[in-house]
Structure 1
Amino acid sequence: MPAYTLREWDKLAHGEGEGQIAVHHADRLAGLAARSSFAGRGGSGVLEHGRHALRAGGVVGILAAGDASLEILPKIDAAPGETTDRQNAAIRKRLVHMLAVALDLKIDLGVITDLAWQRETLLEILVCIFCDKLTEALRKGMPRRYVGCDDDLPTLRGQLDVTRQFTQHAVNPSRLACHFDLLSDDMPLNRIMKAAVLHLSRLSRRSANQKRLRELAFVYSDIADIPVSALRWDQVVIDRTNRSWKELFAMARLFLNDRYQTTTGGRGEGTAMLFEMNALFEEYVGRLIVRALAGTELTVSLQGGRLSCLSVENSERGLFQTKPDILIRHGTRVVHVIDTKWKRISSRIDDPKQGVSQGDVYQMMAYAQLYGAPRLTLLYPHHTGLGAEDTVHGRYRITGQDTILETASIDVANGAGMLMRLRRLLVGEASAGQTPDQEPADNAFLQPVLSG
């Protein structure tokens, strides 16, 4: 099966040679991408299908149509001088780390070999991790709960349903209308797990993963097969009795119905698992900032605020509600507003405006007016063109105000000391060394509160 790999905003030329994609494969993959909810009005938000090449947009993940698949990786700087396979392996590892942080997952990246990171696609790696976790959880037993049952039995079990007994069995007292509780494993959580297993079995192409998914499907053979659209996510309650399933529940959301991901296709036309990098970068940075500022007098709100730019005259109803990505407060006062942007900016030497869009500046000026914060930051992913390390690249004063607008970057390719670097960026050198927890290495268990 032809498998292609492409990075954000790069092109994959049409053709039959090495590093090219056959036109009929490009047609099918582009058609599948155009049906994604990320495709936008023109249908080219995921893949732009040109006359001579496919060009990726700002969405990453896997597209599979017919006998071909396309993996789109984020444009994260990899070590120069390395082979393409090794660079792609490093990018896959960083992307899985970002997903782990954003979704509260513990993922031991060290159990996956370097060869697997190079040879396997992002999808197959995530499927392998899911199978490992689900198999381990099932060894401890499938979660069960009591459900109410009604049955007509020769002897009393539970309570007698008096109404049903004297209406349906008035002339047949040998049968008793019983209502009782039965411990069952056919419950919403298990139905979601089965749906995830069946869904992944249609996506995965790796024989080892297929084998494990068939084994897991057999374990869930007695669980009702519910369409993804009919799954009752709202009926799943994670508490002390099933806390060990929290991460698996989050991964099932990732595969089936999550903020970052969409699944498209139908009638054999193909399947896709896609992640919008803007949303993922925002969640990733926000969760790390929460941890980086723990132990200080500052508190962090993600997607908070929600003040409106306008209010209807003679009414309390607001219009054009704002949702800053990250609000930092000292007590009740907002002291810092951060908006994340998954796009590359240029150095000030190359462009005094650094490629910052006018719309983003207007947006931050609105935040300054509404929230009264003295400091605003547009935070971008770092790249080598900006210098050796992530930092604040530009400071500007909003005309007529004391408010400072910064442009800054954070290097998601470098997991070392991420919390300390974020803390230094936000509160300065003096308290940067007071990071509350020891940060793990890349092959340690990754938690949403840790970097790595």
Structure 2
Amino acid sequence: MKPIVVREYARLTTDDSIETSLDRACIPQSAFDWLCRLSAGFKSNGASLLHLENRQWLRLDNFVGIVETPCGTLLEILPKHTEASNEAASRALLIKMLETALDLPKRTTDKTDIQTYRRPLLEWVMKEFVLALDHLLKRGLRFDYRRVEEEQRYLRGRLDMNKQLRQPPGRAHIFNIRHDLFLADRPENRLLKSALMRVCGLTQEPDTWRLSHELAGLLAEIPGSPNIAADFRQWRSDRLMAHYQPVRPWCELVLGQHMPLAMRGKTHGISLLFPMEKLFERYVEVKLRRELPAPYTLNRQAKSQFLCTHEDKSLFQLRPDLLIQSPQKTALVLDTKWKLLSAADNENKYGLSQGDFYQMFAYGHRYLSGEGDMILIYPKTENFSETLPAFEFSEKLRLWVTPFDLENDRMHWPMTSRTPSYPRYSLQDNPRKAERDSGSAGWRL
């Protein structure tokens, strides 16, 4: 079945007379009712999947990915990173962010197809899994010894003397033996078999279908996993299992076990829902960590400070998304927000949230002792391409709102000369040149 493609905050209805687009679509009544029930389960866990506007309309929240209903409706939700509707660009961005945030291994053998992004997200996941599994099988499956205890009419392995001595006279010709079998029945292979059988039943791409069924024949003697979570806990990552590591992330995606970003409900097939706030935060973290010069370190979700104390107990833990620290002190507090801003909409405060400013004010006083700079990071759009003027909480504490370019993976760093604790060079600048100019690798304390 062809998936229904929408994007974040799209509206869904059962009225088939509307004109469909990425921002609104028509779904069957059975899928409509099931999504309402699924949303109730999300709310009980503290998450919001969608909002019921009335009896005919649903409005999606900031989750992206794919979800399949029991009636067979496949809904693909893409990120809304721009006001313009561009399905191919949105899917390409989502795939790039998932590869980076989940540390998915990239393959170069199918470069043309990756560049065109003609495949829906679900087919891309399944195709990458079977390609990784095919590469693994060419290198060879890992076998392991399994202890077998049984009764036979012949001797094999070792005789279990305790059981043999208790044999009745009429069964003296039956031997209780213990021996080891060298089998491919081990947790890693069972998980791969379960994921492969799920792909065989869901894929509609001819190449993926053909390759998956060929691989299923090679794994015919391996049983499926009876307990997926338990087998994942037993997945070994030692030197002998190194060639299994590239296929594991894809296997986790197919089986719905990829945590902490994936959120799963009681769905019919493969369902992958990712909160866009967390996905954007993880993506920015990975990109900044790769470019951060020494001796600075990037810490995620710091937990060292609290908002207040009460009867010698610390209350209300403060957890900024990112902290850039030097060996001496915290240099910068950064927080990511997945929201579209407009630099021209000054009357409505550019679309900024007052609650976010309260949050950053608390971070600045606890992590920076009320002196320094903080940054709120939003996605770059046509209406928000430059850093906004500084928001001053005091003479010594300031907040910057800056864009992150998702296409070029560059953050627009605000340049300032008044505060010595602020970075004076972009992370993409030449570290050696910056070191000659400022006495540190692109940064100055």
> Superposition pairs for residues 293-308 of structure 1, below 5 Å?
293=292, 295-308=293-306
User: Which 10-residue stretch deviates more, 31-40 or 283-292?
Assistant: 31-40
Say whether 1:405 aligns with 2:403. Answer: no
Task: Confirm whether residue 331 of structure 1 aligns to residue 327 of structure 2.
Answer: yes
Pick aligned residue for 1:73 from 78, 91, 110: 78
- Percentage identity across paired residues of the two chains: 27
Q: 1:32·1:63 contact (CA, 8 Å) conserved in 2? A: no
Deviations 1:388-424 (A, max 9, x none): xxx532422323x623222111021x13xx3686799
TM-score (norm 2): 0.80
Corresponding residue number in structure 1 for 2:49:
45
Partner of 1:93: 92
Deviation at 1:48, TM superposition (A): 4.6
2:402–2:413 CA contact under 8 A, matched in 1? no
Within a 5 Å distance, the mapping from 1:332-371 to structure 2 comes to: 333-347=329-343, 349-351=345-347, 353-371=349-367
Distance change >3 Å, CA 423–CA 165, structure 1 → 2:
farther
Secondary structure at the aligned position of 1:146 is classed as strand
Cα–Cα, structure 1 residues 349 and 89, in superposed 2: closer, same or farther, change >3 Å? closer
1:39/1:363 CA distance change after superposition, 3 Å: same
Question: How far apart are the structure 2 equivalents of 1:187 and 1:220?
Answer: 12
* Gapped regions of structure 1 (runs ≥ 5): 437-452
How far is the alpha carbon of 1:28 from its aligned partner? 0.8
Q: Give the Cα separation in 1 of the matches to 2:396 and 2:68.
A: 52
* Partners of 2:95 and 2:341 in 1: CA distance: 24
Does the aligned pair in 1 maintain the 2:303–2:317 contact within 8 Å? no
Matched ranges for 1:128-207 at <5 A: 128-152=127-151, 154-155=154-155, 157=157, 161-167=160-166, 177-207=176-206
Describe how 1:172-251 pairs up with structure 2 within 5 A: 177-227=176-226, 230-251=229-250
Q: Equivalent of 1:395, from 381, 390, 393?
A: 390
In 1, distance between residues paired with 2:101 and 2:233? Answer: 21
Q: Aligned pair count? A: 417
Matches within 5 A, 1:108-119: 108=107, 111-113=110-112, 117=116, 119=118
- Once residues 285 and 307 of structure 1 are traced to their aligned partners in structure 2, the CA distance between those partners, rounded to angstroms, is 23
What is the RMSD of the two structures over their aligned residues, measured on CA atoms?
Answer: 3.6
Conserved? CA contact 1:145–1:183, under 8 Å? yes
Tell me how far apart the structure 2 counterparts of residues 427 and 146 of structure 1 sit (CA, whole Å).
57
- The structural deviation recorded for 1:6 is 1.0
> Distance in 2 between the 1:358 and 1:51 partners?
32
Aligned residue for 1:354, secondary structure, equals helix
**In structure 2, distance between residues paired with 1:357 and 1:181:** 64
CA distance in structure 1 between the aligned counterparts of 2:428 and 2:118, rounded to whole angstroms? 38
Moved more, 242-251 or 10-19: 10-19
What is the deviation of 1:185?
1.7
Report the Cα offset of residue 237 of structure 1. 2.2
* CA distance in structure 2 between the aligned counterparts of 1:69 and 1:371, rounded to whole angstroms: 45
Mean Cα deviation higher: 368-377 or 244-253: 368-377
Q: Is the 8 A contact 2:379 2:405 kept in 1?
A: yes
C-alpha contact (below 8 Å) 1:33/1:39 kept by paired residues = no
Q: Counterpart in 2 of 1:443?
A: none
TM-superposed CA distance for 1:74, in Å, is 0.4
CA gap of 1:115–1:281, structure 2 versus 1, over 3 A, is closer
Distance 1:422 1:22 in 2: 39
Post-superposition shift, 1:61?
1.4
CA pair 40-117 structure 1, distance change in 2 beyond 3 A? farther
Of structures 1 and 2, the one scoring higher in RCO (CA 8 A, sep 6+) is: 1
- List alignment gaps of at least 5 residues for structure 2: 417-421, 433-445
Check the 8 A contact 2:400/2:414 in 1, yes or no.
no
Q: Note closer, same or farther for the CA distance 1:33–1:211 as it changes in structure 2 (3 Å cut).
A: farther
CA distance in 2, matches of 1:337, 1:180: 60
1:381 corresponds, among 379, 385, 388, to 379
Matched residues in 2 for 1:338 and 1:166: separation?
72
How far apart are the structure 1 equivalents of 2:324 and 2:169?
69
2:351 partner SS: coil
Deviation string for 1:314-366 (max 9, x for gaps)? Answer: 45xx4333332212110152222211111122216534733222222222222
Q: Does 1:25 align with 2:28?
A: yes
Say which SS state the counterpart of residue 346 (structure 1) adopts.
coil
Structure 1 window deviating more from structure 2 (39-48 vs 365-374): it is 39-48
- Asked if the contact 1:93/1:109 (under 8 Å) is kept, the reply is no
- Quote how far apart the aligned CAs of 1:225 are: 2.3
Q: Distance in 2 between the 1:264 and 1:202 partners?
A: 20
| Structure 1 residue identity aligned to 2:90 | I
Tell me the SS of whatever aligns to 2:240: coil
For the residue of structure 2 that corresponds to 1:31, the secondary structure is helix
Q: Which has the larger Rg?
A: 2
**Alignment-mate amino acid for residue 283 of structure 1:** R
For structure 1, which segment, 10-19 or 164-173, has the greater mean C-alpha deviation from structure 2 after superposition?
Answer: 164-173
CA distance in 1, matches of 2:287, 2:310: 37
Give SS of 2:428's match.
Answer: helix
Query: Secondary structure of 2:429's match?
Result: helix
Q: Which amino acid aligns with 2:60?
A: A
Distance 1:422 1:272, change over 3 A: farther
Distance 1:379 1:166, change over 3 A: farther
Q: SS of the residue aligned with 1:368?
A: helix
Q: Of residues 34, 38, 48 in structure 2, which corresponds to 1:35?
A: 38
Greater shift, 191-200 or 418-427, is seen at 418-427
TM-score when normalising by structure 1: 0.78
CA contact (8 A) 1:394 1:408 kept: no
